[in-house]
Amino acid sequence: MKKIVFALLLLVGISLQAQEISIIPKPAKMDVQNGKFLFNGKVVICYPVAKDVDFRKVVDNFVVELKETTGVKLAKSTPKKQKSAFGDAVKYGKKGDAHIVIHIDGDMAEEEYKLSVTTKRIDITAAKPAGLFYAFQTLKQLMPRNVMAGVPDESIREWSVPCVEIADEPRFSWRGFMLDEGRHFYGKEEIKKIIDVMATYKMNRFHWHLTEDQGWRIEIKKYPKLTEIGAWRDSKVCAWGDVKPDGIRYGGFYTHEEIKEVVEYAKERFVEIIPEVDIPGHSQAAVASYPEFLACDPENKHEVWLSQGVSSDVINVANPLAVQFAKDVIDELIELFPFGYLHLGGDECPTYKWERNSDCQALLKEIGSDKYRDLQIHFYKQLLDHVAQKPVEKQRKLVFWNEVLHGNTESLGKDITIMAWIGADRAAKDAAMRGMTTILSPQIPYYINRRQSKLETEPKSQGHGDETVERVYNYKPMNNVDEELQPKYLGVQANFWTEWVIEPSVVQYLMLPRLVAVAEAGWTPAEERDYDDFIGRLQGEARYYQLKGVDYGKHVFK
Ligand code: ACM
């Protein structure tokens, strides 16, 4: 009998432990051990990096979050000499104190970390603030969900972390999410929530699609009409089929101050923002703002578009004032976004109006081509040169959608990045073979604005419910790619287009949990990924979403 009770207790113990450890994305290497580190008595956090502002901020933020969500107050110890921190942690506190000890190992990669939790102390090793931040994210995932959600839970009396040994680093450097705010506009608080969720799952690139035919969403000081005119339209819905314009005045945009606030917020969470101005196609809102030099046919009426689809009202790339406009916009973007990349769009750009415009016809002759697509490349070449002649700290890498590969890209060189969405695997390989870097964001199944199930309750959106969590999870990025091309693959990205999505809660519903599946594809080694295991680990996230106040697809939660 005693034996049975013991076995039962052991089973309960094991299942409790299994429940506690559900880290997403799954770490590269993890070894779960018995026991737990208890936050009782004095706990000292020892870090040899107090002088480094970026490191210190990561530690300080963790200390504050832990205090706010659990009431646990860590004592800080910051030895002056970095070297001494590699030694015995007991040096930094009294004997008997528990410790969290941070070690710096310059040989590790930027986002890599090690986390060792024993009953007596927690050791974290990283080379850079990003690695340290991810170690803390993992540590928070080892605690009740309120910690990651950033809210207190007074019902919990004892705070602890299960004993584990983790050695972790991402598979890909680019783990992205794109949100289209051109079709519908949500505002900075919604963006911050998305950045929080991304950071929870160690995603690090927020691609902000800020301009569309249906709306221009970022203040550009040199061209005020972009937001006086271009940010507003006469329908809240984007008309399509039997959905007609509703006549409701609708719009919005981000001021420079708001952009700076979001940029700071993202930086603290190790998320880089890639702003996109989609030019010269998808630009009807810009054309409506300055038809006198952006339109191919300024004599006609131009308005911010009320419909879905692909507008033919593109920028007149043969007008020198249009080229100057693009350069000026880029200059303001560079000042606002202190990151590595700028996205200039390039998808779905009809050449219909260029073919009927005498300046475009003349320019095509001048550049010695008979393909109107090459006018688009010529336009980009001027923008590329403009960015390249800036001082190093103001230079940016340019990203384009993969239709750009349909033009003669030789003049653009190899130092651009192709975001592959349509025929993504083939397009990415094409880009890599041309020597360009590439990001996989396959329309099917990574466009996570499409319906995520066939349930009746699914909100109106694109698709038929076939882009399920399972399908998203089971997409294999960089599958069957020759080894020598693999370094060109920066990573993966989920995209979210908002033609049908007016409310931020619907963005959340469609985004979660599929974004989490993409996060794991970006981080976890391919051979460690398993859908059933993922769904098991996902179950506890429902509580996180509830505490955080974000909606999610409930059908994969039991
Ligand atoms: C795209 O989906 N038009 C990039």
pLDDT at 93: 52
Please give the share of the chain, as a percent, with pLDDT higher than 90.
Answer: 89
Does residue 489 line the site of ligand 1, with CB under 6 A?
no
In the predicted structure, residue 11 carries a pLDDT above the cut 50: no
Does residue 446 line the site of ligand 1, with CB under 6 A?
no
State whether residue 386 is helix, strand or coil: helix
End-to-end CA, the chain:
34
Helical pair 129-141 and 188-200, crossing angle rounded to 10 deg: 80
Does residue 523 line the site of ligand 1, with CB under 6 A?
no
Beta-strand runs (E) in 170-242: 174-180, 205-209, 211-212, 215-216, 232-233
Structure tokens at 160: 């602890």
Q: Hey, which of 283, 314, 403, 421 would you mutate to test ligand 1's pocket, going by the most ligand atoms within 8 Å of its Cβ?
A: 421
Q: Cα of 295 to ligand 1 centre, how many Å?
A: 22
DSSP summary character for residue 433? H
Give pTM, 2 decimals. 0.95
pLDDT at 114: 98
Please give the share of the chain, as a percent, with pLDDT higher than 70.
Answer: 93
Query: Is the preceding peptide bond at 280 cis, omega within 30 degrees of 0?
Result: yes
Please tell me the residue having the least CA distance from ligand 1 atom 4: 347
Site of tokens 């200059």: 331
**For the chain, where do the domains classified as CATH 3.30.379.10 start and end?**
20-168
Taking residues 264-291, what's their average pLDDT?
Answer: 98
pLDDT at 15: 40
What would the CATH number be for the domain defined by 20-168? 3.30.379.10
Does residue 421 line the site of ligand 1, with CB under 6 A?
yes
Does residue 348 line the site of ligand 1, with CB under 6 A?
yes
Span of 83-87, 239-243, 548-552 with lowest mean pLDDT:
83-87
What would the CATH number be for the domain defined by 174-548? 3.20.20.80
Does residue 153 line the site of ligand 1, with CB under 6 A?
no
**For the chain, where do the domains classified as CATH 3.20.20.80 start and end?**
174-548
State whether residue 439 is helix, strand or coil: strand
pLDDT in tens, 371-386: 999 999 999 999 999 9
Phi then psi for residue 518, to 5 deg, are -70, -40
pLDDT at 296: 98
**Alpha-carbon separation of residue 119 from 31, 37, 46, 59, 278 (angstroms):** 15, 4, 17, 21, 53
Please tell me the residue having the least CA distance from ligand 1 atom 2: 421
